[in-house]
Amino acid sequence: MIYSIQPIAQLAIEGQTCSGTESKGIGYTYTCKTDIGGVQLRLSYEEWGNGERDINCLEASGHPLLATLVGRMRLEIGDDGQGRDFVTFRTAVLKHSAPPHATLCKRDLAHYRECLNLDLGDILGSIPGVRLGTKEELLNRTGRERTELCVTFPRGAHDIPLRIFILTRALALLNSNNGNIEPHGE
């Protein structure tokens, strides 16, 4: 499914973080390829001077719908308070209004399995140090967000949030139209 994550460069960055704060930092750029529809993404793992971290899509090819990911739908990376990183799953879902674009929604494991034909337990469970569950199970959260799906992983493991971005953004978007989206050549 995700067969290639290749580092490209490390660059100084400047802009807005996920919280909307202006900051400077370092962006670690990767080319990511899948075996589905010729999807190729250039993603940046961004470490901001204010401590925030995220994954940002810089370029996308393989299908016109992937353009909706560029500069949008960033994946925020958090600190679980115990020396590990975590991300919350938010899935790209195609809106039915013109022009075609997407929004992010919360989904459970059944959605990935039934609607997107992705078994996140199998995909992420095979990666050492990765734990998949709810925020209550993994982060001891008891508020409104306790049932949200998340994953924890070793601090600084760039490949894991890159993979999650591909699964929850690019592949979910292409599958959100019940498989009726034809791949587009590069």
Question: Can you give the pLDDT of all 186 residues of the chain as single tens digits?
Answer: 677 999 999 999 999 999 999 999 999 999 999 887 788 999 999 999 999 999 999 999 998 889 999 999 999 999 998 999 999 999 998 887 777 778 898 988 888 888 777 788 888 888 899 999 999 999 999 999 999 999 999 998 999 999 999 999 998 888 875 444 443 333
Going from N- to C-terminal start, the domains of the chain cover 2-175
Tell me the pLDDT tens digit for each residue of 79-101. Answer: 998 999 999 999 998 887 777 77
- Write down the pLDDT at residue 121: 84
Tell me the pLDDT tens digit for each residue of 26-41. Answer: 999 999 998 877 889 9
Strands, E assignment, 49-182: 53-61, 75-79, 84-88, 91-94, 102-105, 131-134, 149-154
Cβ atoms within 10 A of the Cβ of 174, count?
23
Of 183, 122, 129, the residue nearest 159 (C-alpha): 129
3-state SS assignment for residue 152: strand
